[in-house]
Structure 1
Amino acid sequence: MSEAVRGAPKKERREFRNIHVLELSNYRLPLAGVVSILHRISGFLMFALLPVVLYLLQLSIQSEISFAYFQGIASHWFAKLVILALVWAYMQHFCAGVRHLIMDTHVGLDKDSARKSAATVLVISLIVTALVALKLFGVF
């Protein structure tokens, strides 16, 4: 028996991959995958903009003069876009985090409910961000 095992020539095993480099543009990521990637992007965005948030917080609580200076900075259109990006990042990260916590309790793990919860995360985060944008840019 040992001769049969030792004497048998080894076959070259083929390597199977799901995605080839050339086919990446044709690959359609599921909605749950998009939410997962956006969860990571929003976490990085909040981390990267943390010095800006801390600087604005320092300006707002230092004195009345610095608060007036903060209001001047915050009224600029670019600062409003940065604040809006932070609001989107926070809402996306928060909603996706709640979704992951619910999925950790083994609720909603099947494909259909995972797709619905991913769509819910996107809709809620975009609606809240749009409402904050309307308030931030003075619509109401």
Structure 2
Amino acid sequence: MKSNRPVNLSLGMVLEVNMKSPVAMASILHRISGIVVFLLIPVLLYILQGSLASEESFNYVKDTILGGFIGRFVLFVALAGLIYHFFAGIKHLVMDFGIAEELKSGRAFASAILAISAFFIALAFYWVVLS
């Protein structure tokens, strides 16, 4: 007799199954990028507030906070989250119009979004961290 009961999978098995599907990866990364952007908004607003207070505070933010590796890395993480969330959001909007809803085209669209986002995130890394 075949059992149709649900099976509890370990986290390793869940990740193994989902890493094979670009659609699942795109969905999970879209959620993670939204959380990252949401959590970094107060930090970015604090930096913006400090940069707008006076000329001295602007120079402090520019030289001390964004001049160090940690500040640039936080800025890069926020920018990477925004980039990915933006492109994945466009994917969802296009799919809301009924385009690329089939399995094959959905996988191709998700793979394209992952590749496009990776390209622009690499450009952002070069611009923010390396330059």
TM range (shorter): 0.7 to 0.9
Moved over 4 A (4+): none
Unaligned runs of 5+ in 1: 1-13
| 1:25 counterpart (13, 16, 30) | 13
Cα distance in 2 between the residues matched to 1:104 and 1:22: 33
- Greater Rg, structure 1 or structure 2? 1
Q: For 1:17-56, what aligned pairs fall within 5 Å after superposition? A: 17=6, 19-22=7-10, 25=13, 27-29=16-18, 30-56=21-47
Q: Secondary structure at the match of 2:98?
A: coil
Report whether the alignment pairs 1:102 with 2:90.
Answer: no
Cα distance in 2 between the residues matched to 1:39 and 1:79: 24
In the superposition, the TM-score normalised over structure 2's length comes to 0.86
Report whether the alignment pairs 1:80 with 2:72.
Answer: yes
2:54 is aligned to: 63
Greater Cα offset, 55-64 or 21-30: 21-30
2:81 is aligned to: 89
- Matched letter for residue 40 of structure 1: R
2:114 is aligned to: 122
Describe the shift of the 1:33–1:65 C-alpha distance in structure 2 as closer, same or farther (beyond 3 A). same
Say what the alpha-carbon RMSD is for the aligned residues: 2.0
Question: 1:45-93 deviations in whole A, cap 9, x for unaligned?
Answer: 0111111010011012111111001102101101111111111100111
Would you tell me which structure has more helix in proportion to its own residues? 2
